[in-house]
Structure 1
Amino acid sequence: MTETKLLLGQILQFTGDPFGPDGPLAAVTYDRRGAVALRGGTILGAGDAEALIAAHPQTARHDYGDALILPGFVDAHVHYPQTGIIASWGKRLIDWLNTYTFPEEMRFGDPEHASRIAALYLDTVLAHGTTSVCSFCTIHPQSVDAFFTAAEERGMRVVGGKTCMDRNAPQDLRDTPRSAYDDSKALLAAWHGRGRASYAITPRFSPTSTPEQLAAMGALWGEHPDCLMQTHLSEQTDEVAWVADLFPEARDYLDTYEAHGLLGPGALYGHAIHLTGRERDRLREVGASLVHCPTSNSFIGSGIMALDELCRAGQRVGLATDTGGGSNFGMLRTMAAAYELGQLRGTPLHPAQLMWLATEGSARALRMDDRIGTLAPGSEADIVVLDLGSTAAIAQRSARAEDIWEAVFPTIMMGDDRAVRSVWVGGREVVAA
C-alpha cells in the first residue's frame, strides 16, 4: 500500500481570485500550524495540522517548523534553449533574437547538446522551487524530445512544443508550412498526454511565420483542440509596427493570429504589453491567456504590462520568467519584478496576489489548475517549502513581521534558491536543503 506522508509547516491556500472585488485577503486562508497530506503523487488534503494528524495518525511526518508550504511554482512562458544566453547584455527584442537567440538555437540540432541543456535547465528551476514550466523549444524535433525526456525522468508536469519559423530567421532555423505541420503533428502524437507531458502548438510569433505557416498551425490546433497553443504578442512597439507592415490587412497584431485559427481557449500569448482595446476585449471574450514576463520586459526594455487592470477585468493572466530574455530562473525574483513594475504603474500588488500568480494563476492560464498550482484534494503533489529566514537580511526583516504577509514579503523581494528548503514532485522529494 502506498505510504501517506504529512508535511508540517505554515500553509497558505487560495479559495478564490485575489484580484476579485473583495480584495486579496478574502481569497486566501492561512494556517499558522498546518499540514499537507500526500499519498503517492496526489494531495489528500491541506489545512490545520492537528486535524490532519488525527485523520492520519500512523503517518510519516516531515516537520518544516515555521517554513511556508505552497504548491510548486508554475512558470507559464520560458525558452529552455536560451539557458546559455541568459543575462546577455544590451539588446532589445529584434537585436536580441539576431545576436543571441538564433545563434544559440542553431546548436539544438545536436541531440546531445539539447539533452544536456534540458537537464541543466530543469534541475536549475527545480532548485528554485518551480515544478512545472511551459517552454518553447527550437525548430529541431530533437530539442522537443530532449525537453520532454528530461522532464519525464524528473516526473515533472510540463508543456512544450517545436518552435515554427519560415521567414525572418537564419536559413538553418527555418522550416516550411508543411514541415512545421508534419513535425509538430508527429511530436504531438509522441508526447501529448504521455505521463505528465502536454504539447503546445508553437509558432514563435507572426513576424517569423508566413500566413501559410500560421494557417497550417491553426489547422493543426483545430484538429487537436485539447492542446495548448503558445506564441508572443505585442512585446515591443517596434515589433507591433513590424507586424503592421507584414500584415497590412490585419486589424491589429492579435488579428494576425485570429485570421489563421490561432485564437481561442487554450491560447497563450507571452508579454501582451501594448494591447489595443479591441485586443483586450477579444482576448477576454474567448478566454485566452496572457503571460506576464516582468524581468524580461524590463531587461529587454519592452514596457510594462497593465497587469492589475487586466486581472481585475477578468483576463486570464499567468506569470513567467521568460528564460533567457528574462534575467532569472526563479519565480521569487519574478514576483519581485512584478511588484516593482506594478509600483511604476501605481498599482502595487499584494503578496497574496503575487503568490497566486506564481502558482494557481499560472496553472489557470495553462488550464491546468485542476491538477497543479493548488493544495486542493486531488491535485498532483508538487510542493515547494520556503524558508522565510533564508538569509540574515531576510531573517531580520521577517522577524519584525506582524502578520504572515509581512513575513512572506521579504522572501518575495529578496529571496532566491537559498530560500527553497524542499521541493516535492509527484509526491517525491527531489530537492532537500
Structure 2
Amino acid sequence: MTSERPATGATSREGLPWLPALAFFLVLTAYYIIRPVRDQLIGAVGSTALPAFYIAVFVATLLLAPLFGYMVSRFRRAPLLAWSYSFFIACLVAFVPAFLAQDRIGARNLGIVFFVWTTVFNVFVVSLFWSFMADIYDSVRARAVFPIIAMGGMGGALFGPVITSTLVSVVGIAPLLVVSACMLALALVCLLWMSSRQPPRQGAAVVEDVAIGGSLLAGIRAAWSQPFLRNMAILMLLSDGIGTLAYALVADAVHATMHDKVAITQFYSRLDLAINLFGALMQFTITRWVLVRLGATWGLIIPSVVNVLLLLWVAAASGFVLAFPLPWFSGAVAVSVSVITIMQVVTRGMAYGMTKPASDVLYTRVAREERYKGKNFVETAVWRLGDVLVTSGVVGLRALGVGVAGMALISMCGSLVATWISHRAGTSPDLLPEADIDTRRAA
C-alpha cells in the first residue's frame, strides 16, 4: 500500500522549475537534432510512403505498450527513467554506421527503420518526461510552472534545428546522432537528480516512491473505460489529423522540388525552427495566462478553434503562395511560404505551445497508474493510429480526385468535434479535484 502525507512545505520544496526546464531543453534538443535527419529520408521518397511508415510505427508502439506497462509496474521511478533513456541513447549511437552507408542502404529502406525508431523515441521519451512532471507537481502548481518548463523545451526545439542546420554541411549527417545522444544523456542526469529529491504526488498528498504495480495492460483498458482518458484518446485522433495532413502535403512538395539530402535536411531543420519560434511566442505571450487565469480546459479548446479558422482559410486559398522571398529557406521558397506550410507552422506551434502544456496539467489530476500507463498509451499507440488513418486517408482521397481544399474541409469538421471533446475532457467527472488555491499557497 502506498503511504501518503500532506503536502506541507510543498511550495518551498518545489522551488523554481529551472532544472525541469533545463532537462526538457536537453530532451527536445536531442530530438530536434535528429528530426530533420528523419525528414530528409521522407522528403526523398514523398508522402506515398507515409502510410507504410506510420503502420510500422503504430505496430511498434502497440507492441511496446505492454513492455512499458511491465516496466512501470515493476520498477520505481528512477530505474524506469534510467533504463528507458539509456536504451534510446544506445540506439542513437548504433545508427551511426547505418547513416554512413545511407547511399548503399537506400533512403526508403533506412527511412522506414529510422522513421519508426525516431517516432517511438519522440513519443516515449517526451511522454515519460511529462508523466514524471505530473508526478512531482500538483494541478495548481502545474498550471503556473508547466508553461515555464515547456518554454525550456521550446528553447531546445529552437536550438536543435540550429545545430543541425549549422553542422550538417560541415560534419555530415551521421555525427549528428552522437551529438543527440550526448544531449539525451545530460537530460537523464537532470531527471535522476530531480527524482532523488522530489517524491511523487497523489492528488494533494505526497506519496512514497514505489513501483506502481498493477496490470501490464492497465493503460490500454483505462483509455477505453475511464471518461478522461477516453476523451483524451478521441481528442488525440481528431487533433492529429490537421498536422499530419500538412506534414504529408509538405513532404510531397519537397519530393517534387528538392533532390539533395543535405538541402532537404537543412530545409526541414529551418521549418522546425519556424514552428518552434511560433510555439515559443505562444508560451511567452498567452499560454501561461490562459492556464492560470482560465484553466487547462481552455488551453485545449482555443487551439481547436484556431484550427477550424485556419482550415477554412486553407480551403479558400489552398493554392496561394506568398510573393516575397524568404532567403532563410534557400531554394525551397515555394514550399516554405505556401499556405500548407503556414498551416503546419501554426498548427504544430499551437500544439506544442498550448495544447501539450494544458493536457499535461490535466494529467496531474489522475491516479499514478493512469498518469504513466494510460497517458503513455494515448500519446503513443493512439497518436500513431491517428497517423495511419490520416496518411491512408490522404492517399485514398487523392486517388478519388479530392484536392487540398476538400481535405481541409473534411479536417475542419474533425476540428469542430475536437472543440467539443476538449470541453468534455477538461470537465471529466473522474478527474481528481484541484486543491483550493489559497490552501495550496499556505501549504
Q: What TM-score, normalized to structure 1? A: 0.23
Hey, which of these two has a bigger chunk of strand by percent?
1
Q: Return the structure number with greater relative CO, CA threshold 8 A, min gap 6.
A: 2
